[in-house]
Structure 1
Amino acid sequence: MAAKQGGAGKQSWRRSEAAQGLTMIAPPLGYALLVLAAPLATILAYSFFRDGYLVVEPAFTLENYKIVWTDPIYRSVMLRSLIVSGLVTLVTVLLAFPVAYYVSFYVRPDRKALWLFLITIPFWTSYLIRVFLWKVILGYNGVINSGLKALGIIDQPLTFILYNVNSIVLTLAHAYAPFAILPIFVALEKIDRALLEAGRDLGESRAMTFWRVTLPLAMPGVIAATLIVFIPTLGDYVTPQLIGGGKIPMIANMIQSQMLDQDNRPLGSALAVTAMLIVAVVSAVFLFLNRRFLKVRQ
């Protein structure tokens, strides 16, 4: 009797919505675990191994993490990566907010789709091509230097506009600007315009209405844009290599060097895990701030 009841319970569960939903998501879930979780688990395991002579010794050790946190070279590279990513995020969000604000508040509703389409045009070309284009623009014989020389402003090419932190920040800010514009635009579109009218009816100026009403209500989009820009820029290694000329390595360049050039996979894995932990902590802080802003809105 109990066996029959158990069999009937299994059949009813198989027919339930939960079982059907689990069956539907099982293939993509398995694919995600295979493609994402397995490499991450491999890197995590390698970070605790010891780098032997020509081979990796699968012996548990914390020596790699000790090197990452105590070696001044790795600490300075990690700090530089955080500073550069922070600058890129700040510049990108500051440039993206006015664009998103203009499209949301000043563009006619029937033209907004066209504007969003134009914003996504940079995605039509490869990221690598866009980086090379900035190298052409900022190069010694590039567009800027050639234009200034043609105008008679300079006699020799400017050397401070390429192969430095400023050029890296400029290139990354341009590359990730659409990622910041879109979430801010969505947040601005959700703002009830009646609230802005109420603020002006109460005697507030446009600037104070923006500061007290529009900006707080748009902060979830700003925080989302911050995360979307900060996380990938911290792990970018193409731009520092090409635009920085290899003179300003970031943490991703150090990981690539340890993994491929020096064949020290345990230390490279420890650097990667450390970077992921820092990103996780920063993301948790911003998600907490986002929840606070959402509570204020509610």
Structure 2
Amino acid sequence: MWRKPTITEGARGWLMISPPFFYALALMAVPLCAIVLFSFWTQDFMTVDTTFTLNNYREIAEKPIYTALLQRSLYVSTCVTIVTVLLAFPVAYYVSFYVKPERKSLWLFLITIPFWTSYLIRVFLWKVILGFNGVINTGLINIGLIEEPLTFILYNVNAVIITLAHAFAPFAILPIFVALEKIDRSLLEAAQDLGENRVMTFFRVTLPLAMPGVVAAVLIVFIPTIGDYVTPELMGGAGGKLIANMIQTQFLALNNAPLGAALAVVAMVSVSAIALFFVLLNRRWLRGRS
């Protein structure tokens, strides 16, 4: 007698996740593989030579401009990450520990308000704030602190760091807040009952338990900022260009897409190596604390 085949729970789970998995694979893995493959080709104006070659990577290694742009991009991303996380942690800590539970949703709602406006609009607003005749310079001149407008806050790396730190602040606040919310408050009370003051309780109990959120915030901020194109283009000026701007120049202005693809691969490998090293270092640190 024929019996209908039974589907195990594991097989049913694979059937449920396979459509989104292959959809994500097609949208992410296939373009990445295409970029990697393209980086081993060459292009002469509109003609693409599909012969396998390492000339693009050799050119990146030999020309100092590409190394300088990559180092500047890593420096900017590191500075943005440090500034953003240091400013985001007190906000997340205050909302988690000092805001009443029924008002936390309102605070999180207010934190996400910047997402309501276009990213381009926020960048242009920072140009108005940091400009030669902007809000900061005009205010400092009016109160007599400076006689001439400050020139180091716009069209350079400083302007890029300030703008990116503001743009990615909510991305850092939310994961840190989630990690702080998961901390059992009785552990803090136990630490204080054992003689620890609030400062030592924070460093010995709260901060270690919040490290998963801090690590998530670091990765969420660091990884996309190194590939940001709009902010350096509008705020960086000639001295604030990053590797993403050079990639755009190779693809669109110089008609050298294989070299642009090679630059993208080098940037991705660099970011992946640094992120993986940071995650492994954090795991080792947490293991040593346990």
TM-score by length of 2: 0.93
1:277 aligns to what SS in structure 2?
helix
Q: 1:207 to 1:158 in 2, by over 3 A?
A: same
Structure 1 partner of 2:82: 90
Deviating more after overlay: 286-295 vs 207-216? 286-295
Query: Distance in 2 between the 1:240 and 1:119 partners?
Result: 24
Residues 45 and 256, structure 2, Cα contact 8 Å, conserved in 1: no
Q: 2:166 aligns with which of 133, 154, 174?
A: 174
Cα RMSD of the aligned pairs, angstroms, is 2.0
Deviating more after overlay: 187-196 vs 90-99? 187-196
Q: 1:271 aligns with which of 251, 263, 268?
A: 263
The aligned amino acid for 1:141 is: N
Deviating more after overlay: 60-69 vs 262-271? 60-69
CA deviation map 1:203-247 (0-9, x unaligned): 111111111111111111111100000000000011111111243
Query: Distance in 1 between the 2:44 and 2:151 partners?
Result: 43
* Bigger radius of gyration: 1
Q: 2:198 aligns with which of 191, 206, 210?
A: 206
Residues 85 and 218, structure 2, Cα contact 8 Å, conserved in 1: yes
Task: For residue 148 of structure 1, report the CA deviation from its aligned partner.
Answer: 2.3
1:132 and 2:124 aligned:
yes
Task: For residue 285 of structure 1, report the CA deviation from its aligned partner.
Answer: 1.7
Task: For residue 29 of structure 1, report the CA deviation from its aligned partner.
Answer: 2.6
Q: 1:246 to 1:125 in 2, by over 3 A?
A: farther
1:56 aligns to what SS in structure 2?
strand
Residues 140 and 159, structure 1, Cα contact 8 Å, conserved in 2: yes
Query: Distance in 1 between the 2:47 and 2:204 partners?
Result: 61
Deviating more after overlay: 88-97 vs 16-25? 16-25
Structure 1 partner of 2:21: 29
The aligned amino acid for 1:223 is: V
1:73 and 2:31 aligned:
no
Q: 1:146 aligns with which of 126, 138, 152?
A: 138
Query: Distance in 2 between the 1:221 and 1:29 partners?
Result: 26
Structure 1 partner of 2:233: 241
Task: For residue 21 of structure 1, report the CA deviation from its aligned partner.
Answer: 3.0
Query: Distance in 2 between the 1:53 and 1:263 partners?
Result: 6
Deviating more after overlay: 281-290 vs 59-68? 281-290
The aligned amino acid for 2:22 is: G
Query: Distance in 1 between the 2:120 and 2:27 partners?
Result: 24
Deviating more after overlay: 77-86 vs 17-26? 17-26
Residues 85 and 234, structure 1, Cα contact 8 Å, conserved in 2: yes
The aligned amino acid for 1:150 is: N
The aligned amino acid for 1:247 is: G
Query: Distance in 2 between the 1:293 and 1:127 partners?
Result: 36
Q: 2:244 aligns with which of 252, 264, 271?
A: 252
Q: 1:287 to 1:153 in 2, by over 3 A?
A: closer
Residues 47 and 269, structure 1, Cα contact 8 Å, conserved in 2: yes
Deviating more after overlay: 224-233 vs 33-42? 33-42
Q: Which sections of structure 2, spanning at least 5 residues, go unmatched?
A: none
Structure 2 partner of 1:104: 96
Q: Which sections of structure 1, spanning at least 5 residues, go unmatched?
A: none
Residues 163 and 247, structure 1, Cα contact 8 Å, conserved in 2: yes
CA deviation map 1:112-161 (0-9, x unaligned): 11111111111111111111110111011111122223334334322121
TM-score by length of 1: 0.91
1:12 aligns to what SS in structure 2?
coil
Task: For residue 293 of structure 1, report the CA deviation from its aligned partner.
Answer: 5.4
1:74 aligns to what SS in structure 2?
helix
Query: How many pairs does the alignment contain?
Result: 290
Task: For residue 101 of structure 1, report the CA deviation from its aligned partner.
Answer: 0.7
